[in-house]
Chains A and B, each alone.
Chain A
Amino acid sequence: MRRAVRPHWGWATLGIGAGAFWTAARVSVPLMAGIAIDKGILKHDTGTTMKYVGIILLLGVAQAIATGLRRYGAFRMALRVETDMRQQLFAHLQRLHFAFHDQSQTGQLMARANTDIQQVNTVVILFPLTVASSLVLISVVTIILLTSPLLALLALGTLPFLNIAATLFTKRMQPVTLHLQEELAELSSVVEESFSGVRVVKGFGAESIQAAQLDHRADRVLDRSLDAARLRAWFLPLVDLLPTVGLVAILGYGGTLVIHGQIQLGTIVAFNSYILMLIWPLRMAGMLLGQASRSSAAAGRVHEILSTDPAIHEVAGAPKLPPGPGELRFENVTFGYGNVGTPVLDGLDLVLRGGEAVALVGATGSGKSTVARLVPRFYDIDSGTITLDGVDVREVSLANLRKSIGIVFEDTFLFSDSVRENISFADPEADMDTVRDAARLAGADRFIDALPEGYDTVIGEQGFSLSGGQRQRIAIARAVLAQPRVLILDDATSSVDPTKEHEIRAALREVMQDRTTLIIAHRPATIALADRVVLLDHGKVIAEGTHQELLVSSREYRAVLAQAIGSDADDPALDAAALLEVPDGNGNGVGHGVGRANGDRNDDGADGIGAGASGAGDPVGETAS
């Protein structure tokens, strides 16, 4: 943290320096006022009075300027530190490896970048301000002690109690506030539950039950709030009383001294002002202590992130990939996430020839998704090699490697940007034609043109909302824009509504032409897109062949597929379609038994209900052909 402050030393110095200057001016005013009274008013010497009034005014100006400078300096430095820390944290997080992000929740990281940094910053702000008020405290105490020690002690006597009271109050208040927050949260959840489940509540006429629950919660909130109020009720009056007792002492004892002639009347007035001046610095000191512990905890959490090193290293000056057809080779690859027992990939051997489309199939946990993540080096393998066109992926420039691989993830993530910016994400410099080509390949150009602002339409959370299939097609366009030599499709259809899946498949078929493609899938229709199918089990290849071949020869293959179909049992018409769409020798999907006769594109014929009800052609017969 100190590192963060150093570049802004200038502002900090200004803040503290001006603070000292301010203290001097501020503390002198009561002094001058006192003297003005003694030497001017009491002696009926208007001239002297006016002289001192003039001095006071000058001091006022000085004080004003100084306070402006000190506040500006302190806050500016603090804001700068906060901004820089946030920037640093963000940049670092962007570079951290996947394994780190797997372990963290976005919400938590947001809290670090937002709340925690703010906490740290509070101390940074408080610091120069506290220095100034400490100076005030010290000077005032010194001045009044020098003037009249006994009176000073009497006047100051009660003030330490102010600090003690403040500390006690904060300590007692914290658990109460916490309880209050908890009760408010409970109340909120009853409200939220009742509204979300309003159908059930109304359906059973159970409004009274929920109302009773709420009453109960509201009563508890009332109790906690009153607890807090009671605490405030003894603290706040005390805060006003203690300094006032000091004033009483000044009047009583100071007055006596004045009558004895030991001190001047003006001094009493000055003392009064000084006591009032001390209240704020004392409370600040208390605040700083409380805040300091919270801030150091926050600083620790931020530091934890900043000190985590990205695990995927790039060799300095690593070269780009040599030109090639996109041949991907896995040799005896072993990999496990973290150090969790058995490795996910265990001696995997796999070759994808240039331009070939291979489907990876396997049960959950077989390692198929992992394979997809290893190629772009989102994780580094434990042993073995992965080579692309003959070069180990670890020896190539990371940026170049990733640019050469287009990947479509299972869950589409699009940014709150225009369609064009989303598609050209891999290459922001791409011109409109390139973007359009990519969109066309992905089968997205038609619906994009139909959008209110075409390619400039902003999508995402606050923009136009697209269907799952449309989003996925944009993701596909994004993946192919930079002409990657390898395309990885990680379960790209699983999150799409089964009735729309065929739309994606057409797009996938297009982009896969003449490009090395790795497809991770479990739906037969998607698997059918590949030239070859590889079956994984427990991180090893246990069978290879075409979909047809494996369907006949491998029981495990059938089991995996059957499981996939089972999960779609809710859409009876489409079960049939998916199952019946079994590839013929050309690797093209054969239309479903219901209403295919006119050989139309599968896209529109998928609705089993609408098609003619001529009994489903015997699907088994087709399989066997």
Chain B
Amino acid sequence: MRSGGHSDPVALDETISREEAQWVMRRLARMLRPYRRKIVIASVLLFLQTACILAGPSLVGFGIDHGLQTKDYTVLYTVTAMFLGVAIAAAILGRFVIIIVSVIGETFLRDLRERVFRHLMGLGLDFFEREKTGQLVSRMTSDIDALEELVSQGLVAIVQNILLFVGAVIVIFVLSWELALCTLIVVPPLVYVSNWFRTRSNAAYLEVRDRIGHNLATLQEGLSGVRVVQAFSREASFTRRFSETNEAQFAANLETVRIASRYFPYVEFSSVVGIALIIGVGGWFDHEGIVSVGVVAAFVLYLSNLFEPVQQLSQLYNTVQMAGAGLHKVFGLLDTKTSIAEHPGSVDLPRAGRLEVHDVSFGYTKRLVLEHVSLVVGEGERIALVGPTGAGKSTLAKLIARFYDPRSGVVSFAGIDLKQATLQSLRQRIVVVPQEGYLFTGTVRENIRIGRPGASDEDVVAAVAALGLTARLDQFERGLDTEVRERGSRLSAGERQLVSLTRAALADPSVLVLDEATSNLDPGTEQTVEQALEILMKGRTVVVVAHRLSTAARADRIGVVDEGALVELGTHAELLQRGGRYAGLYRAWDSSHAQAHTVDGIGAGTATT
């Protein structure tokens, strides 16, 4: 509950300029076209409702003049009945307005969510590497959710308040323009002061938000580092530091209270002045015969229809600003173009063929990460890429899978440039198995099905069997129907890998690009994974980014990647004989493993030489 019933403050990056606002409005209008009919209906109903609401005070006034003053019961009761009638009508109309507007708004939001998501999913990998996941999620969730608030609460309120205010002004002018003019004297100052309040309190709330941020940061640091604080006996001074940010937060909050404490008195005073004016001026006019008592009474009732909208609109202004800014960002996303597009005239990749990397150069930024790399992988050949971290082997793997397009050079399969291949066939023929199995919320079966969207249950079962994992996956709580929690936390790392491999099996690719896991799995699962992997690799062309030299040694050929270039390429025996990088690496690794066994052996009492 905020002091003064204020809406959230709006920061500079949450506001939009006039032209941006206009652009958003035009775009919005275009997107709302399918809802034309409903919008018209809602508008009509809203008009009618406002008319009913505004009719009330006039009826009262009429009743007073022509019923009470003239002691006419008929008029009085007719007017009373009519008053009741419009009140009920207003309520019923109001109900429909809320429902229709909500349907329009919420459906629009749903469509917007779906559209934005589909669009984002279609963008290339470079987009996702550029943008922070957190920010993207925020666009799709909190930015669109902010619109939700506008739609559910704000929209109707805004339109209604505007209509009410305008309607009230019109009516009181019709009743008595003289009295209306006098009464309306209070309105411009009120608008002005409301504006002042909004700007000042917005700035003050931004300050509050800022100080809260600092305070929470200090709080969090104090809590996460409490062990260090106690270890060095700094409890007292750290608490003092917290009191600084804490008091700063207090001061900022107090400022907002001060501002509110100046605004609301003015509003209440205006309201009373309004009544005073109506009675005073109205009384004099009545004396002069310009207005009647009934009109005066009606005016008193209309006062609230003038004041409330001004205040409410002022409060809603911020909500609108934020919604506008949010929409602006979301529309911006919709306009982003994808980098990996399917070119017209693309062909499907055939099942069999060689994988050729021809003179490929690539860099994520200006700096090249791969330079003039060429490699030919024969059908069914298994090639291992080794090299230090950051050398470029993972990048090469990504280019092979067409997650990125090379700057120069060509990656082709069966003689077809990957850029000329249909994306669908590409994803079927060349499949990447990442380091760690990434699972989505859902069942094991659903996760496997990701490998080939549209695969049937039998296909899934067949894929599992093909890897010899039927028994193993049955061990899960509910077999293939087990729910893996977020990111698959229900399963162990090894089990996740198994699912990941089954996915690849379901996809049944021609080329398998493997990013070997770096961490060790528990020995039992490790073996199962290795076996399944061997089955998966059989008969397929495999490019494995190896982190274990044992894996490399088992490949048909090994490529050493260092500093963006393929420095060595050959079979295990060839490279060992050459005595280059690979040889050095292998020997060091080999001896350390020998040593590990030796350490155990010392217990036997003899130092083996």
Chain B hits for A407, CB < 8 A: 231
Chain B hits for A567, CB < 8 A: 520
- The residue in chain B whose Cβ has the minimal distance to the Cβ of A231 is B98
Q: How far is it, in angstroms, between the C-alpha of A551 and the C-alpha of B600 when the chains are bound?
A: 10
Chain A hits for B91, CB < 8 A: 237-238, 240-241
If A205-B428, A226-B106, A259-B68 touch, does A245 touch B84 (CB 8 Å cutoff)? Answer: yes
Are B133 and A195 in contact (CB-based, < 8 A)?
Answer: yes
- The residue in chain B whose Cβ has the minimal distance to the Cβ of A94 is B235
Q: How far is it, in angstroms, between the C-alpha of A205 and the C-alpha of B283 when the chains are bound?
A: 79
B254 close to chain A: CB less than 8 A:
yes
Are B233 and A276 in contact (CB-based, < 8 A)?
Answer: no
The 8 Å CB contact of B227, one of A79, A200, A205, A413, is: A413
- The residue in chain B whose Cβ has the minimal distance to the Cβ of A38 is B293
Are A594 and B284 in contact (CB-based, < 8 A)?
Answer: no
Chain A hits for B177, CB < 8 A: none
Chain B contact surface mostly: helix
Contact with A along B270-308 (1 / 0, CB 8 A): 011101100110111011000001001100110010000
Contact with A along B30-74 (1 / 0, CB 8 A): 000000000000000000000001001001100110011001010
Contact with B along A562-589 (1 / 0, CB 8 A): 1001110110110110011000000000
Within 8 A of A (CB), among B412-463: 423-424, 426-428, 431-432, 434, 438, 440-441, 449-453
The 8 Å CB contact of B403, one of A83, A87, A199, A399, is: A199
| Partner-binding segment picked from B15-23, B195-203, B215-223 | B215-223
Chain A hits for B71, CB < 8 A: 259
A459 close to chain B: CB less than 8 A:
no
Are A403 and B232 in contact (CB-based, < 8 A)?
Answer: yes
A4 close to chain B: CB less than 8 A:
no
Chain A contact surface mostly: helix
B90 close to chain A: CB less than 8 A:
yes
Contact with B along A179-202 (1 / 0, CB 8 A): 000001001111111111111111
The 8 Å CB contact of A251, one of B3, B60, B133, B238, is: B60
Q: How far is it, in angstroms, between the C-alpha of A535 and the C-alpha of B110 when the chains are bound?
A: 63
How many residues of chain A are within 8 Å of chain B by beta carbon?
161
Are B217 and A416 in contact (CB-based, < 8 A)?
Answer: yes
Shortest C-beta distance, B522 to chain A (Å), equals 12
Within 8 A of A (CB), among B579-609: 579, 581, 583-585, 587-589, 591-593, 595-596, 598-600, 602-603, 607-609
If A46-B283, A562-B596, A572-B589 touch, does A402 touch B233 (CB 8 Å cutoff)? Answer: yes
Are B431 and A204 in contact (CB-based, < 8 A)?
Answer: yes
Q: How far is it, in angstroms, between the C-alpha of A219 and the C-alpha of B217 when the chains are bound?
A: 37
Contact with B along A72-95 (1 / 0, CB 8 A): 100110011011001100110111
Chain A hits for B182, CB < 8 A: none
If A79-B257, A200-B434 touch, does A255 touch B76 (CB 8 Å cutoff)? Answer: yes
Are B220 and A193 in contact (CB-based, < 8 A)?
Answer: no
Are A272 and B300 in contact (CB-based, < 8 A)?
Answer: yes
B249 close to chain A: CB less than 8 A:
yes
Are A106 and B224 in contact (CB-based, < 8 A)?
Answer: yes
Are A425 and B228 in contact (CB-based, < 8 A)?
Answer: yes
Shortest C-beta distance, B373 to chain A (Å), equals 20
If A37-B293, A247-B83, A609-B581 touch, does A252 touch B77 (CB 8 Å cutoff)? Answer: yes
Are B250 and A79 in contact (CB-based, < 8 A)?
Answer: yes
A273 close to chain B: CB less than 8 A:
yes
- The residue in chain A whose Cβ has the minimal distance to the Cβ of B134 is A192
Contact with B along A381-418 (1 / 0, CB 8 A): 00000000000000000110011010101000101100
Are A234 and B148 in contact (CB-based, < 8 A)?
Answer: no
Are B84 and A413 in contact (CB-based, < 8 A)?
Answer: no
Within 8 A of A (CB), among B85-137: 87-88, 90-92, 94-96, 98-99, 102-103, 106-107, 109-110, 113-114, 117-118, 120-122, 125, 128, 133, 136-137
Q: How far is it, in angstroms, between the C-alpha of A42 and the C-alpha of B293 when the chains are bound?
A: 8
Are A63 and B148 in contact (CB-based, < 8 A)?
Answer: no
- The residue in chain A whose Cβ has the minimal distance to the Cβ of B117 is A214
Shortest C-beta distance, A365 to chain B (Å), equals 18
Q: How far is it, in angstroms, between the C-alpha of A125 and the C-alpha of B253 when the chains are bound?
A: 13
A110 close to chain B: CB less than 8 A:
yes
Q: How far is it, in angstroms, between the C-alpha of A555 and the C-alpha of B600 when the chains are bound?
A: 8
B266 close to chain A: CB less than 8 A:
yes
Are A206 and B450 in contact (CB-based, < 8 A)?
Answer: yes
A215 close to chain B: CB less than 8 A:
yes
Chain A hits for B60, CB < 8 A: 247, 251, 272
Are B76 and A256 in contact (CB-based, < 8 A)?
Answer: yes
Closest 5 CB pairs of A and B: A572-B589, A60-B272, A205-B427, A229-B102, A64-B265
Known: A37-B283, A623-B607. 12 other contacts (CB 8 A): A37-B296, A56-B276, A71-B264, A95-B235, A188-B140, A192-B133, A205-B426, A209-B453, A225-B148, A398-B233, A562-B600, A623-B602
